[in-house]
Structure 1
Amino acid sequence: MRLTVTSFMTMDGVVQAPGGPEEDRRDGFDQGGWQVPYADDDMGEIIDARMAAAGAFLLGRHTYQIFAGYWPHISDDNPVARTLNGLPKYVASTTLTRPEPAWRHSTLLGPDPVAAVTELKAAEGGELQVFGSGGLVRFLLAHGLVDEFQVLVYPVVLGAGHRLFPDDGPATAFRLTGSRTTSTGVLALTYEPDGSPRYGSFLAEPEPEEQRIVR
C-alpha cells in the first residue's frame, strides 16, 4: 500500500484542533475549529477523493481517540463515516495496550513501528492513509516511510498551537505533484518526498585578484 499523509495546516504551520474548540486543548490551546469556516464543496471533493483511494488508516494515539469518539456515532450514510468505520485502522502508540476507545477494525501496532508500517506498506489494497497524527507524521518522514504528503494550507495565522514540523526535524526536500485552490482560499498541495534539500547561492563568487588584474 502506498502511504499517504493528509495534514490541515494554518499559514504559520499550526495543525492543532482544526475541527472544533474541544478537539485538542493541550497546552491551553483555545483556538480550535479554525478549519470549519473554510468548508465548501471543493473541500468535500478533495476529502471524498482521498476516502475513495483508502485501503486502511494509520493513526497516532491522540488522533485515533478523537476519531474513535466521533465517527462510530455517525451513520454510514455519510461516505466519510462509512469509509472510516468500515476499513482497517492501525494505531501507533507507546502508551496504549489496546485501542481505546474501542472502534471496530482497529489494531494496535507492535513494538517495532518501522517494521510494522513497512509490512503494511507491502500489502495490496489502496492507500495506507494518515490524517492528523502530527507526532506520527514526523516519525514516518524521519524514517522515509511517506510516499505522498498532502498539505491543505488555510488562509489564517494563529500565532500559537502545535506545529507539524519542529525546529529540530530532519531536512527534507519535496517535489510538487498537484495543486488546487478551493473557493474559500484553501490551498491543497500534494508533494512526494525528494531526498535531501539541495543548496546553492545567488551571490556570484568573486574572481581571484590575479584574474581581475589580467583583464
Structure 2
Amino acid sequence: MRTLISTAFVSLDGVVEAPGGEAGYRNSGWTFNDIEFDPAAFEIKGREQEEATALMMGRVSYEAFAPVWPQMTEDFAGYNAMPKYVVSTTLEDADLVTNWGETTILRSLDDVAALKETGGGPIIINGSATLNRNLSDAGLIDRYHLLLFPVLLGAGKKLFSDTDKDKQNLKLVESESYSNGIQKLVYEVIR
C-alpha cells in the first residue's frame, strides 16, 4: 500500500492559501513576507522530492504549477521527474501540459483509494487545499509534513475542513523549531 503524504506551508491559524505568491489572495506570498529565510527550515522539501515517487494535486494547483514548475529545473527537479496525478472532475487530457512528464487524471476519491492500493512508493500532495480537506475527511492521508509559519492570516483556504467527524489521532514523528519562528511538524495518522 502506498503512503499518501500531505505537505503544506501553514499559518498558525491553519491557512494554506497562496503561500508562494499566487494571485487572487490578499495575503499572497505570506511565506516570504517579513519572515527571514532560513534554509534549514526548508530541508524537508528536498527530502520529500527524494522520498516521493509521485506527485498529486487538485485541478486548481495543477493549473497554477503546470505553467511554472517544468521550467524550475533546479528547485523542482525531483517533482518534475516523477509521475503526476491530478484529481479533477472537470480537467480533460487535452488540458494537460506536454512538458511535465507523465500525468494521469483521477476522477474521484475512490480512484485515489485504488491508487493507494497499487505498488510503488509514497505519493506527495502539494498545494491543493480542497483536495487535502477531502482526502483527510475520507481518511486517505497517511502522513502530514507541515511547516508552521508564525503568522495569523484570518480568512483564506484552510488545510483542514470544519466537517463534523470522528476524532483522528496523530503521532508526532519529527519536529524542529528554526530561528525565524518556523516549526517543522511531521505527523503520522494513527489508524
User: Which interval holds the TM-score relative to the shorter structure?
Assistant: 0.7 to 0.9
Q: How far has the Cα of 1:63 moved from its partner?
A: 1.1
Residue equivalent to 1:60: 58
Mapped contact 1:16–1:162 kept (Cα < 8 A):
yes
Mapped contact 2:168–2:189 kept (Cα < 8 A):
yes
Alignment of 1:117-128 (within 5 A): 117-128=112-123
Mapped contact 1:69–1:101 kept (Cα < 8 A):
no
Paired with 2:135 and 2:116, the residues of 1 have a C-alpha distance of: 12
Paired with 1:87 and 1:169, the residues of 2 have a C-alpha distance of: 35
With over 3 angstroms needed to count, the CA separation of the structure-2 counterparts of 1:123 and 1:15, relative to structure 1, is same
Report the aligned-residue RMSD: 1.8
* SS of aligned partner of 1:58: strand
Paired with 2:77 and 2:129, the residues of 1 have a C-alpha distance of: 24
Q: How far has the Cα of 1:24 moved from its partner?
A: 4.1
Paired with 1:186 and 1:67, the residues of 2 have a C-alpha distance of: 24
Residue equivalent to 2:189: 193
Mapped contact 1:91–1:99 kept (Cα < 8 A):
no
Paired with 1:175 and 1:43, the residues of 2 have a C-alpha distance of: 21
Residue equivalent to 2:105: 108
Residue equivalent to 1:34: 30
Residue equivalent to 2:168: 172
Paired with 2:3 and 2:61, the residues of 1 have a C-alpha distance of: 20
Q: Which string of whole-angstrom CA distances, capped at 9 and with x for unpartnered residues, describes residues 16-59 of structure 1?
A: 00001xx141xxx2110011234321133111111110100111
Paired with 1:167 and 1:140, the residues of 2 have a C-alpha distance of: 13
Q: How far has the Cα of 1:169 moved from its partner?
A: 5.0
Paired with 1:54 and 1:6, the residues of 2 have a C-alpha distance of: 11
Paired with 2:178 and 2:19, the residues of 1 have a C-alpha distance of: 17
Q: How far has the Cα of 1:174 moved from its partner?
A: 1.6
With over 3 angstroms needed to count, the CA separation of the structure-2 counterparts of 1:34 and 1:113, relative to structure 1, is same
Paired with 1:99 and 1:5, the residues of 2 have a C-alpha distance of: 27
Paired with 2:177 and 2:134, the residues of 1 have a C-alpha distance of: 29
- Alignment TM-score, normalising by the size of structure 2: 0.88
- Alignment TM-score, normalising by the size of structure 1: 0.79
Residue equivalent to 2:89: 94
Segments of structure 1 that go 5 or more residues without pairing to the other structure are: 196-215
Paired with 1:30 and 1:101, the residues of 2 have a C-alpha distance of: 28
With over 3 angstroms needed to count, the CA separation of the structure-2 counterparts of 1:51 and 1:169, relative to structure 1, is farther
For the pair shown, which has the larger CA radius of gyration, 1 or 2?
Answer: 1
Paired with 1:149 and 1:99, the residues of 2 have a C-alpha distance of: 32
* SS of aligned partner of 2:95: coil
Count matched residues. 185
Segments of structure 2 that go 5 or more residues without pairing to the other structure are: none
